[in-house]
Amino acid sequence: EPEVTQTPSHQVTQMGQEVILRCVPISNHLYFYWYRQILGQKVEFLVSFYNNEISEKSEIFDDQFSVERPDGSNFTLKIRSTKLEDSAMYFCASSEVGGNYEQYFGPGTRLTVT
Amino acid sequence: AQSVTQPDIHITVSEGASLELRCNYSYGATPYLFWYVQSPGQGLQLLLKYFSGDTLVQGIKGFEAEFKRSQSSFNLRKPSVHWSDAAEYFCAVGVEAGGSYIPTFGRGTSLIVHP
Protein backbone atom coordinates (compact mmCIF):
# COMPACT_ATOMS: atom_id res chain seq x y z
CA GLU A 1 0.00 0.00 0.00
CA PRO A 2 1.43 3.41 -0.91
CA GLU A 3 2.40 5.62 1.99
CA VAL A 4 3.74 9.06 2.80
CA THR A 5 7.33 9.02 4.01
CA GLN A 6 9.22 11.66 5.96
CA THR A 7 12.89 12.23 6.68
CA PRO A 8 14.55 12.54 9.05
CA SER A 9 12.56 10.90 11.81
CA HIS A 10 14.29 13.11 14.38
CA GLN A 11 16.14 16.37 13.82
CA VAL A 12 18.04 18.25 16.49
CA THR A 13 19.12 21.79 15.72
CA GLN A 14 20.35 24.87 17.51
CA MET A 15 18.24 27.96 17.87
CA GLY A 16 18.67 30.28 14.90
CA GLN A 17 19.64 27.55 12.48
CA GLU A 18 17.72 26.67 9.35
CA VAL A 19 16.13 23.25 8.99
CA ILE A 20 14.52 21.49 6.07
CA LEU A 21 12.04 18.73 6.69
CA ARG A 22 11.41 16.39 3.81
CA CYS A 23 8.37 14.47 2.71
CA VAL A 24 7.61 12.15 -0.18
CA PRO A 25 3.85 12.19 -0.77
CA ILE A 26 1.91 9.39 -2.40
CA SER A 27 2.79 9.49 -6.07
CA ASN A 28 -0.62 10.27 -7.65
CA HIS A 29 -1.64 12.80 -5.02
CA LEU A 30 -1.75 16.47 -5.90
CA TYR A 31 -2.55 18.17 -2.57
CA PHE A 32 0.15 18.37 0.08
CA TYR A 33 0.02 19.55 3.66
CA TRP A 34 2.14 20.25 6.70
CA TYR A 35 0.90 20.02 10.27
CA ARG A 36 2.64 20.33 13.59
CA GLN A 37 1.96 18.91 17.01
CA ILE A 38 3.68 20.47 19.98
CA LEU A 39 4.16 17.91 22.73
CA GLY A 40 0.94 17.41 24.64
CA GLN A 41 -1.06 19.71 22.38
CA LYS A 42 -3.38 19.28 19.43
CA VAL A 43 -2.40 18.75 15.83
CA GLU A 44 -2.39 22.11 14.03
CA PHE A 45 -2.64 22.84 10.35
CA LEU A 46 0.24 24.85 8.89
CA VAL A 47 -0.14 24.95 5.12
CA SER A 48 -1.61 23.25 2.08
CA PHE A 49 -0.01 23.24 -1.35
CA TYR A 50 -1.53 22.57 -4.74
CA ASN A 51 -0.44 23.20 -8.29
CA ASN A 52 2.95 24.47 -7.15
CA GLU A 53 1.61 27.15 -4.89
CA ILE A 54 0.29 27.61 -1.39
CA SER A 55 -3.44 26.98 -1.30
CA GLU A 56 -4.16 27.76 2.35
CA LYS A 57 -2.04 28.67 5.35
CA SER A 58 -2.67 29.22 9.02
CA GLU A 59 -1.57 32.07 11.27
CA ILE A 60 1.28 29.87 12.48
CA PHE A 61 2.78 29.77 8.99
CA ASP A 62 4.61 33.08 9.12
CA ASP A 63 7.59 34.39 7.16
CA GLN A 64 10.03 32.01 8.82
CA PHE A 65 8.31 29.08 7.12
CA SER A 66 8.34 28.16 3.47
CA VAL A 67 7.35 25.14 1.42
CA GLU A 68 8.61 23.86 -1.84
CA ARG A 69 8.20 20.99 -4.25
CA PRO A 70 11.72 20.98 -5.66
CA ASP A 71 11.17 17.98 -7.93
CA GLY A 72 8.44 15.57 -8.89
CA SER A 73 8.52 13.61 -5.67
CA ASN A 74 9.66 15.65 -2.66
CA PHE A 75 7.74 18.23 -0.66
CA THR A 76 9.75 20.23 1.85
CA LEU A 77 9.12 22.50 4.81
CA LYS A 78 11.86 25.00 5.58
CA ILE A 79 12.13 26.85 8.86
CA ARG A 80 14.55 29.72 8.33
CA SER A 81 15.64 30.64 11.82
CA THR A 82 14.44 28.12 14.35
CA LYS A 83 13.16 29.11 17.77
CA LEU A 84 12.76 27.01 20.87
CA GLU A 85 9.01 27.05 20.39
CA ASP A 86 9.37 25.39 16.98
CA SER A 87 10.15 22.14 18.78
CA ALA A 88 7.33 19.83 17.76
CA MET A 89 6.34 16.85 15.68
CA TYR A 90 5.83 17.85 12.07
CA PHE A 91 3.52 15.76 9.92
CA CYS A 92 3.27 15.79 6.18
CA ALA A 93 0.09 14.62 4.45
CA SER A 94 -1.15 14.25 0.91
CA SER A 95 -4.49 13.72 -0.79
CA GLU A 96 -6.07 13.32 -4.16
CA VAL A 97 -7.90 16.22 -5.71
CA GLY A 98 -11.59 16.19 -4.77
CA GLY A 99 -13.18 12.82 -4.24
CA ASN A 100 -13.16 11.50 -0.72
CA TYR A 101 -10.89 14.18 0.74
CA GLU A 102 -8.90 11.61 2.68
CA GLN A 103 -5.53 12.91 3.75
CA TYR A 104 -2.80 10.32 4.22
CA PHE A 105 -0.30 11.22 6.91
CA GLY A 106 3.36 10.42 7.20
CA PRO A 107 4.94 9.19 10.44
CA GLY A 108 6.28 12.62 11.32
CA THR A 109 9.60 14.31 12.00
CA ARG A 110 10.37 15.21 15.58
CA LEU A 111 12.16 18.56 15.60
CA THR A 112 14.06 19.51 18.73
CA VAL A 113 15.45 23.03 18.93
CA THR A 114 18.07 23.56 21.64
CA ALA B 1 -14.24 29.84 13.66
CA GLN B 2 -14.71 26.13 14.07
CA SER B 3 -13.58 24.23 17.15
CA VAL B 4 -13.59 20.68 18.47
CA THR B 5 -13.83 19.52 22.06
CA GLN B 6 -12.84 16.08 23.23
CA PRO B 7 -13.74 16.18 26.90
CA ASP B 8 -11.92 13.00 27.89
CA ILE B 9 -8.13 13.16 27.97
CA HIS B 10 -7.79 9.49 28.91
CA ILE B 11 -10.19 6.57 28.67
CA THR B 12 -9.44 3.16 30.17
CA VAL B 13 -11.40 0.10 29.14
CA SER B 14 -10.99 -3.64 29.47
CA GLU B 15 -10.41 -5.72 26.39
CA GLY B 16 -13.74 -6.88 25.01
CA ALA B 17 -15.67 -4.01 26.55
CA SER B 18 -17.54 -1.45 24.52
CA LEU B 19 -16.11 1.98 23.86
CA GLU B 20 -17.47 5.45 23.26
CA LEU B 21 -15.22 8.47 22.71
CA ARG B 22 -16.91 11.83 22.85
CA CYS B 23 -16.53 14.69 20.42
CA ASN B 24 -18.38 17.99 20.27
CA TYR B 25 -17.84 20.55 17.56
CA SER B 26 -18.67 24.15 16.90
CA TYR B 27 -19.20 25.20 13.31
CA GLY B 28 -21.73 27.47 11.64
CA ALA B 29 -22.53 25.30 8.64
CA THR B 30 -22.90 21.60 7.98
CA PRO B 31 -19.57 20.19 9.05
CA TYR B 32 -17.25 17.65 7.57
CA LEU B 33 -16.36 15.45 10.54
CA PHE B 34 -13.53 13.00 10.95
CA TRP B 35 -11.99 10.61 13.42
CA TYR B 36 -8.30 9.80 13.22
CA VAL B 37 -6.21 7.33 15.19
CA GLN B 38 -2.52 7.75 16.00
CA SER B 39 -0.52 4.81 17.23
CA PRO B 40 2.83 5.48 18.94
CA GLY B 41 5.46 6.55 16.42
CA GLN B 42 2.94 6.63 13.61
CA GLY B 43 1.14 9.29 11.66
CA LEU B 44 -2.60 9.84 11.80
CA GLN B 45 -4.83 7.30 10.11
CA LEU B 46 -8.37 8.12 9.08
CA LEU B 47 -10.93 5.89 10.81
CA LEU B 48 -14.08 7.37 9.30
CA LYS B 49 -15.65 10.55 8.04
CA TYR B 50 -19.04 12.19 7.72
CA PHE B 51 -19.91 14.55 4.90
CA SER B 52 -23.67 14.15 4.49
CA GLY B 53 -26.42 11.54 4.33
CA ASP B 54 -26.74 8.71 6.82
CA THR B 55 -25.79 10.02 10.24
CA LEU B 56 -24.37 6.66 11.35
CA VAL B 57 -21.03 6.19 9.68
CA GLN B 58 -19.08 2.97 9.51
CA GLY B 59 -15.30 3.03 9.48
CA ILE B 60 -12.32 0.76 9.50
CA LYS B 61 -11.30 -1.57 12.33
CA GLY B 62 -14.91 -2.01 13.46
CA PHE B 63 -15.44 1.62 14.48
CA GLU B 64 -18.56 3.66 13.87
CA ALA B 65 -19.64 7.19 14.68
CA GLU B 66 -22.96 8.95 14.84
CA PHE B 67 -23.52 12.55 13.82
CA LYS B 68 -26.10 14.29 15.99
CA ARG B 69 -26.75 17.80 14.76
CA SER B 70 -28.96 18.72 17.70
CA GLN B 71 -26.14 17.92 20.12
CA SER B 72 -23.28 19.06 17.86
CA SER B 73 -21.68 15.72 18.54
CA PHE B 74 -19.85 13.05 16.58
CA ASN B 75 -19.07 10.29 19.08
CA LEU B 76 -16.94 7.32 18.14
CA ARG B 77 -18.01 3.84 19.19
CA LYS B 78 -16.79 0.29 19.05
CA PRO B 79 -18.76 -2.66 20.48
CA SER B 80 -15.74 -4.71 21.57
CA VAL B 81 -12.29 -3.21 22.07
CA HIS B 82 -9.11 -5.11 21.22
CA TRP B 83 -5.73 -4.51 22.88
CA SER B 84 -4.42 -3.22 19.55
CA ASP B 85 -6.92 -0.34 19.72
CA ALA B 86 -4.80 1.35 22.38
CA ALA B 87 -3.81 4.64 20.76
CA GLU B 88 -4.56 8.35 20.61
CA TYR B 89 -7.84 9.28 18.93
CA PHE B 90 -8.48 12.65 17.35
CA CYS B 91 -11.78 14.12 16.26
CA ALA B 92 -11.65 16.85 13.62
CA VAL B 93 -14.01 19.22 11.86
CA GLY B 94 -13.08 20.13 8.31
CA VAL B 95 -13.67 23.31 6.36
CA GLU B 96 -13.79 22.85 2.61
CA ALA B 97 -11.03 24.72 0.79
CA GLY B 98 -10.98 24.31 -2.98
CA GLY B 99 -10.58 20.65 -3.77
CA SER B 100 -9.61 19.75 -0.24
CA TYR B 101 -10.42 20.54 3.37
CA ILE B 102 -8.60 22.06 6.31
CA PRO B 103 -9.19 20.16 9.54
CA THR B 104 -9.33 21.58 13.03
CA PHE B 105 -8.40 18.87 15.49
CA GLY B 106 -9.45 18.24 19.04
CA ARG B 107 -6.83 17.67 21.72
CA GLY B 108 -7.19 13.93 21.47
CA THR B 109 -8.28 11.11 23.76
CA SER B 110 -5.77 8.52 24.84
CA LEU B 111 -7.29 5.04 24.94
CA ILE B 112 -5.78 2.56 27.38
CA VAL B 113 -6.86 -1.05 27.07
CA HIS B 114 -6.49 -3.43 30.01
CA PRO B 115 -6.20 -7.18 29.35
Of A56, A100, A107, the CB nearest to B41: A107
CA–chain centroid gap for B22, Å, is 8
Whether A27 and chain B come into contact, CB under 8 Å, resolves to no
Q: Of B10, B79, B2, B66, whose CA–CA distance to B35 is shortest?
A: B66
- Residues facing residue B2 across a β-bridge: none
Cβ–Cβ gap B43/A103 under 8 Å: no
Number of domains in chain A: 1
Number of domains in chain B: 1
Domain coverage including residue A85: 5-99
Q: Decide if pLDDT at A111 tops 90.
A: yes
Whether A38 and chain B come into contact, CB under 8 Å, resolves to no
In order of A3, A14, A75, A111, A114, the CA distances from B106 in angstroms are 24, 31, 26, 22, 28
**CATH code of residue B91:** 2.60.40.10
Any domain includes A106 = no
Whether B5 and chain A come into contact, CB under 8 Å, resolves to no
User: Rounded to whole angstroms, how far apart are CA atoms B97 and B16?
Assistant: 40
Any domain includes A107 = no
User: Rounded to whole angstroms, how far apart are CA atoms B109 and B13?
Assistant: 13
First to last CA, chain A: 37
Domain coverage including residue B103: 3-114
**CATH code of residue A67:** 2.60.40.10
In tens digits, chain B (115 residues) has pLDDT values of 789 999 999 999 999 999 999 999 998 777 889 999 998 878 899 999 998 889 999 999 999 999 999 999 999 999 999 999 999 999 999 888 777 888 899 999 999 999 8
